[in-house]
A = this chain, B = another copy of it.
């Protein structure tokens, strides 16, 4: 009797220097075989630990999709899996050690990685999630300015946003707390500092 080989793949996102970036290990998504020992989550933990500078508990993680056969482009890759369970993980730029930033590549829908289909799917999911939840908390330090927040949104959505409308919207959602502090970046007027009320995933009330 034949058993299938199952793999786990990670799509790691971060917004670095205003650009949406994905982590690669020699031009492929980090992946590992899974042999059914322990839970899937544990296996993902382990895989996560392989990424330099990334502790298990950091960031936001979510299962993406289970790819099989053609969809994942798997046949083309010898020694690969019959099915691949893909996860995406969000990691704040501030948690990435400076020396390792070159392993993060700016997302480009036209790139031709074997994993492009998975990455594209992950980006769509991220774009959706960021509009309907507070999930961006995982891409920012605990305290941040509204401009920082806006830059993260712009990087993910891939388009510029209007400053006034953005602030009105985000503040009206009531997911932020004004710390009343001020932070000065460079030689400009200091900006107000905010934090997310909660670091747990919350769906935004659209009513």
Q: What residues make up the interface of A, taking CB atoms closer than 8 Å to B?
A: 1-6, 34-37, 39-41, 63, 65-66, 68-70, 82-83, 85
CA distance A153 to B137 in the complex (A): 35
The binding surface of chain A is classed by DSSP as mixed
Q: Is the CB of B39 within 8 A of A66?
A: no
Q: Bound state CA distance, A81 and B35, in angstroms?
A: 13
- Given A40-B83, A83-B40, check contact A34 B66 (CB 8 Å): no
- In the bound assembly, the distance between CA atoms of A2 and B45 in angstroms comes to 20
| B82/A68 in contact, CB under 8 A | no
A40 and B69 form a contact (CB under 8 A): yes
B69 touching A85 by the CB < 8 A rule? no
Task: Please indicate the chain B residues that have their CB under 8 angstroms from the CB of A6 in the complex.
Answer: 4, 6, 83
A70 and B39: CB pair below 8 A? Answer: yes
Closest to A83 in B: B40
Q: How far is the CB of A48 from chain B (nearest CB, A)?
A: 16
Specify which chain B residues have a CB less than 8 angstroms from the CB of A35 in the assembled complex: 1-4
